[in-house]
Amino acid sequence: MKRWVTWLGVLISIACAVYFAGTVATHWRSLAQIPTHSGVIAAMGVASLIYMASYMVSARAWQLSILSLSGVVPYVGAARMLMLSQFAKYLPGNVGHHVGRVLLARNAGLSNEVIVGSMLIDTALVVLAGAVCSAPALALLQKVLEDRGVDGLKTVVLVICVFALLLTASAAIPYVRAKIRNLSSLVSTPTFGLLVKAWACHCLTFILGVAVLYLLMGAVTETPDALPDASRFPEVLGVYAAAWLLGFLMPGAPAGLGVREVVLLLGLTPLVGGPAGMAMAALLRLVTTAGDGIAFLVGVGLRRSHKQQPSLRDAGE
């Protein structure tokens, strides 16, 4: 069953990638008119640094999840493991980064119970943060669907019902039900405060993602009037969060490839226009890929320095 679900996710991801590529080809002339200059390159560089900052925040969120289970891990250690493992999300199957994090956490001395529990909590919190942050885009999604001749309200209701059905089906599994009970018991303990902080950290990562989008939009459009004003920030946040969340939940889609681009295209087009929306989706993919590569290299550097520390102490003694 899991294999079929994974292959279905792969096919959906491929279909989304083909749709996005076809849309780019159709509007290539308009897309080519968008100016490319050194400012765009500089904006991409700064955007990559902002994206890197989201790694620091995500590492803190995971550390808080570990602490909520009475586990102990230094912040730098959590950041190092996250940086080293996340690049594996580009492997087919979209599970390589989870496996990598488990292996690195074991080497760091964490127990299997803490590793699995903290990753479940971390995943649940980031999904919850993504769902909350994507809520402002529901009205925009309804408008986009209605413009395309689809009853937006019925579609939104259908999506909510499908999610509710999936959650109900998952809760029916004894293992999942037991984990839900374990997680719910944390609410009545002092560790609930740690979980709230971890959830807030994940919300902050989505806000940083929107900062990247605004930076890229400013570099591409060159005119302040073409940018969504501050009142549209919640909608841009909702579009970004929805794109990330759907890509994250899609099984078999490496790093949400194809899925996120289509959602960004559909969501940003009413705000900045089709060509700019396509440019944003493409540039964001370049920025996040470059950022993941930089994060991996930083993680390698941190790992080497971590390995050298014991030998340096021994030499001093």
- Kindly give the confidence (pLDDT) of every residue in the chain, 317 residues in length, as a single tens digit, with 9 standing for 90 and above: 445 445 444 555 565 556 446 555 554 454 555 556 667 788 888 988 899 999 999 999 999 999 988 888 999 999 999 998 888 877 765 677 888 888 899 988 898 888 988 898 898 899 999 989 988 887 776 666 666 565 656 666 666 665 665 556 555 556 555 655 665 555 445 577 888 999 999 999 999 999 998 888 877 776 555 566 777 888 889 999 988 888 887 766 666 777 788 888 888 888 777 777 888 888 888 888 888 888 888 988 888 776 655 443 343 43
Q: Quick one: which of 215, 271, 204, 278 has its CA closest to 239?
A: 271
Question: What angle in degrees, to the nearest 10, is found between the helix axes of 274-316 and 75-86?
Answer: 130
What is the reported pLDDT for 314?
40
Q: Is residue 312 part of a domain?
A: no
User: 311 CB contacts (<8 Å, ≥6 apart)?
Assistant: none
Number of domains in the chain: 1
Please name every residue paired with 252 in a beta bridge, in sequence order, or none if there are none. Answer: 93
Q: How far apart are CA 195 and CA 146, in angstroms?
A: 38
pTM, whole model, 2 decimals? Answer: 0.75
pLDDT of residue 21: 62
Look up the domain containing 277 and give its range: 37-135+191-304
Cβ atoms of residues 237 and 207 within 8 Å: yes
Identify the pLDDT of residue 317: 38
Alpha carbon distances (Å) from 203 to 127, 137, 273: 10, 15, 27
| Residue 142: count of CB within 10 angstroms of its CB | 17
Of 202, 236, 229, 50, residue with least CA distance to 134: 236
Asked if residue 160 is part of any domain, the answer here is no
- Report yes or no: 260 and 243 within 8 Å, Cβ to Cβ: yes
Structure tokens at 172: 């029916």
60 neighbors 199 (Cβ within 8 angstroms): no
Kindly state whether residue 94 falls inside one of the protein's structural domains.
Answer: yes
Q: In terms of Cα–Cα distance, which of 29, 111, 35, 21 is closest to 73?
A: 111
Establish if 14 belongs to a structural domain. Answer: no
**HEC per residue, 93-138:** ECCHHHHHHHHHHHHCCCCHHHHHHHHHHHHHHHHHHHHHHHHHHH
CA distance 89 to 168: 28
- Residue 57: inside a domain: yes
The tokens describing 240, both together, are 């970004």
Q: What is the pLDDT of residue 228?
A: 67
